[in-house]
Amino acid sequence: MAGKKNNKTLWTIVAIVSAIVLVVCGVSIVQRIMQDINRLSVLTDEVLSYLQAKASLGTPKNERIYLCPFLSSIVRSEAPEADVNVFADKDAWLWTDKDYLRRAVCNVLRNAIIYAGEAVPIVVEVGEEHGEVRISVLDRGPGVPEQDLPLLLEPFYRGKASLTHPGGSGLGLSIVKYCMEACGGRLEYANAEPSGFCVSLFFPKSKGPVFG
């Protein structure tokens, strides 16, 4: 009974304070305060998501991963209705952590699907470049504004994407960067010609796949 009474008292105080603010400050001020509260709530959720995503992966454990079936399974689970082509030698394999690799590829693929829109197909390709193994995800969308490119790895940064695609957290590539560094790899990204955006995940050849 005491708990219910205290809860009722609390809500009574909240109602009285809200009424006073409304009378003194006006509707526009109250609406602005509520918008600020909502933004803080969203930011808090995003911070928790970022920390949980990093904590959930644990310590990297290397294992042999055959890339053609592995990448194809990601496409089937993450983008069953999207137009995505996977190009990888059927015998290509990679020695790395499966969970970290899956998280990295999934995040890149989701971004490509969201921002490419109707500009398909999206291409996932495995290759070798300058002594490293490369997994690339290429879309044919509008690309990223040049002024946003240097900041894409910053957590929560969305740039002009927040105007055209609201609701994202801006965590995708920062999590990919974390996954790659934990596995001893790295990532690169750039706008493609004549249009599109490409993200490439690089692994040292000593940890890379064997072809054929």
Long-range contacts of 11-14 (CB under 8 A, 24+ apart): none
Separation between Cα atoms, residue 29 and residue 34, nearest integer Å: 9
Predicted structure pTM score: 0.71
Q: How confident is the model at residue 115 (pLDDT cuts 50, 70, 90)?
A: confident
pLDDT in tens, 51-102: 766 677 778 888 999 999 999 999 999 889 899 999 999 888 888 999 999 9
| Residue found by looking up tokens 């310590």 in the block | 59
pLDDT in tens, 142-178: 998 899 998 888 877 766 655 555 555 667 788 899 8
Tell me the H-state helices in the chain.
2-25, 27-55, 67-78, 98-116, 161-164, 172-182
Asked whether the predicted pLDDT for residue 199 surpasses 50, the reply is yes
